Amino acid sequence: MKGAIANFLFFLFFLLSFVSFPGGTKAAQAKDNGVYIVYMGAAASTNGSLRYEHTQLLSSLKRKGITLVHSYSHSFSGFAAHLSEEEARSIAQKPGVISVFKDPVLQLHTTRSWDFLKHQIDLEIDSSPSSESDLSTQEYDTIIGIMDTGIWPESKSFDDKDLGVIPPRWKGKCMEGDDFRQSNCNRKLIGARFYADPDEATADRTPRDMVGHGTHVASTAGGSAVPGASFYGLAAGTAKGGSPRSRIAIYKVCSLEGCRGSAIMAAFDDAISDGVDVVSLSLGASAMAIPEVTRDPIAIGAFHAAENGIIVVCSAGNDGPNAGTVVNAYPWILTVSASTIDRDFESDVVLGGNKVIKGEGINFSNLDKHPVYPLIYAKSARQSEALESEARNCNPSSMDAAKIKGKIVVCDNDDKEFSETSKFEEVKFLGGVGLILADDEERSVASIYGALPMTVVSSKDASEILSYVNSTSNPVATVLATVAVGNYKPAPSMAYFSSRGPSSITKNILKPDVTAPGVAILAAWIGNDTASTPGKATPPFNVLSGTSMACPHVSGLAAAVKSRNPTWGPSAIRSAIMTTAIQTNNLRGPITTYTGTAATPHDYGAGEVSTTRALQPGLVYETNTTDYLNFLCYYGYNITQIKHIARNVLAGFSCPQDSSSDLISSINYPSIAISGLERKRSKTVVRTLTNVAGDDATIYMASIDAPEELAVKVVPSKLEFEKTGQKQSYQVVLSLTSSVKEDLFGSITWTNGQYKVRSPIVVISKNDSL
């Protein structure tokens, strides 16, 4: 995630299921493999004795032939093995075992974007001075660990030209496998691992990417600059990653069947030991089945990574635009939603009389540019036994071939029962020559239709097309091949598929944290994809959409921040990225949703990332070990459980009395989220800022932006810093001035005239039923 046909079919499945139709079939429905994960918390030692302990624990079951699938022994303890349900229950009762759970199958959350992000800082109104640094010219030695479908090492994006020696702290390896040798690694691609179940017969024993997803995200995060990149001539320019001089380490945890939790935990265990600085995961659970923290492979692995000074960046999920769908939402994870850039892939419809209707989609139509093809609304071609809703949606076996043949068909797409491509295939099978799909959501995302003469229009434009059809005796049209349109406005806007907050884990932390480009992103592709676009050669670069594509943008930025500030821990890096984020678009207005309405922090968190200001934020919020331990207390775990989970439980630490989920708002996070606030009752939270700008004395003043229904008081409103590393705390007192039925949004910004340090505020309405 091997022939051309198999690759093509899976590519379509991936593109439609993971990106275009977030509610559709998921890899999580893959067949149960009988593997259970046994999580035993922080590793007491790393001297090799843990694997022996794991084997001894299995031997207590008194069944011969049980083998370890994976053993976790570097930074946390546990293993995965083929067990029966009864055996899993038995092991769960053993001393030192925190949780035992079935091996989950997680799903993938599936260039111009970096130039757009760099340009956005120049469009801000009253923007503060940004760093003089440029991501493309910095000398980096950071290591980005990519957990995904593997890598296509021959891509030019992974060329190691001009890179120095591999950092001596790197302890990883380049595993050999099917069609993959150690020589495929170099000074850019410094490590590659794969995780196969020894008890399963599979051909997927290689770090090589047979899907494309991992190659795409790896090049987005840290790919070398490649001039002249394009997707068959579209989106031409230089493709590069956010941290083009960072090193890349690949951990192949996903296959054709999805992403096994047992493999993800093994990859975290290795990555922490190998010496990575950033871990990037463009995958996660379904919003409908978010596991508890001790049963969530990503949450477990990310917690231990944070303990070891590694920042973990994850995609927010593709289950939007519904509220409460964000995943990977624990406070030790940097969670990323998806937004657009200022490039549009336009595929227009031309009606009789040369009336042009703008459409969206990537196709290489060979239809005549003039409107010479008869045009019909699919409903008018309904078979007598079919429902009208089936026919107008172009569902299989619902239309009369005699009425479709030789025509361009207008289809609705409001039932989502069948994919866009299957609708076109039905039209094509019946003899149609083109398809115009009406769908407001899909109109905002450029899907790839290859050689198919197909485009997507808004419902408003579809009404205009149908009005023309109904008022003309011989309606005609054509669908034009795609052209890339630059300087598109407004941008960014939030992608419809991007998962939204508030988090179902807790409403007292704002998630997602930030947004980044995730729509129609050009990046490296696998070299054996000969069938995804029939009639054309394998593309070295491809265009994909999803929060999968947004996540590596932030991973690359995190690596750049780390290289500029090598002593910073993961929370300082996250704070720098969040507090410098942007809330305006290239029209100098607020970021909007795909419908044109104003977006909120539930959509974009702190805002869209800034690639320059994040390098020098002035002040940072450091979320320390005590904050995370307190989170676990507030979340419901007792001190005995926490001491098993965490390696760095401080001497004398105990859970605060009267711990409750409401207290999660008080951990030192860069954003402020409050739930259950009642009128005539105030709530106070404390935040602590650390000066990272230099030794010169400086004074920061607080400014507040809040709706009239929300009173916000900051005490003190002035913070004085005298040296680097100095910390200052302040209180935020929040109260309602009137009864409210909707969530409220505001912000606190600290500024000294040079730096602006902004924290969003979210107050969740009591009427919010999530």
Residue of 723, 709, 706, 721 whose CA lies nearest to 759: 706
Count helices and strands in the chain by DSSP H and E runs = 17, 39
Task: Locate 660 and state its tokens.
Answer: 């409750």
> Rounded to an integer, what distance in angstroms lies between the CA atom of residue 322 and that of residue 7?
32
Say what angle helices 297-307 and 570-579 make with each other, to 10 degrees. Answer: 110
Bridging pattern class, strands 278-281 and 698-705 = unpaired
Say if residues 281 and 313 touch (Cβ distance below 8 Å). yes
Q: How many CB atoms lie within 10 A of CB 215?
A: 32
Check 54, 70, 82, 213 and give the catalytic one.
213
> Rounded to an integer, what distance in angstroms lies between the CA atom of residue 253 and that of residue 27?
13
Backbone angles phi, psi at 91, to 5 degrees: -65, -35
Residue of 762, 758, 721 whose CA lies nearest to 744: 762
Rounded to a whole number of angstroms, the distance between the first and last alpha carbons of the chain is 33
Active site residue 148: yes
Task: Locate 688 and state its tokens.
Answer: 């602590």
Task: Locate 26 and state its tokens.
Answer: 């998921």
Residue of 551, 504, 543, 513 whose CA lies nearest to 338: 551
| Degrees to nearest 5, angle at CA 283 with 277 and 289 | 130
Check 103, 141, 148, 204 and give the catalytic one.
148
Q: Give the H/E segment covering residue 262.
A: helix 261-274
Active site residue 230: no
Partners of 608 in the β-ladder: 515, 582
Q: For residue 715, what are the CA distances in angstroms to 557, 698, 719? A: 33, 18, 10
Q: How many CB atoms lie within 10 A of CB 97?
A: 17
Q: Give the H/E segment covering residue 217.
A: helix 213-222
Say if residues 148 and 218 touch (Cβ distance below 8 Å). yes
Residue with tokens 């922490």: 272
Task: Locate 229 and state its tokens.
Answer: 């990149």
- Biggest alpha carbon–alpha carbon distance for the chain: 84
Give yes or no for a cis peptide into 207 (omega within 30° of 0).
no
What helix, strand, coil percent values describe the chain, rounded to 5? 25, 25, 45
Residue 571: strand, helix, or coil: helix
> Rounded to an integer, what distance in angstroms lies between the CA atom of residue 620 and that of residue 623?
9
Q: How many CB atoms lie within 10 A of CB 3?
A: 10
> Rounded to an integer, what distance in angstroms lies between the CA atom of residue 428 and that of residue 447?
18
Backbone angles phi, psi at 102, to 5 degrees: -60, 145
Q: How many CB atoms lie within 10 A of CB 6?
A: 12
The contacts of residue 4 (CB under 8 Å, 6+ apart) are 528, 530, 531
Active site residue 45: no
Check 20, 224, 398, 548 and give the catalytic one.
548
Residue of 173, 145, 110, 159 whose CA lies nearest to 251: 145
Q: Which residues are catalytic?
A: 148, 213, 548
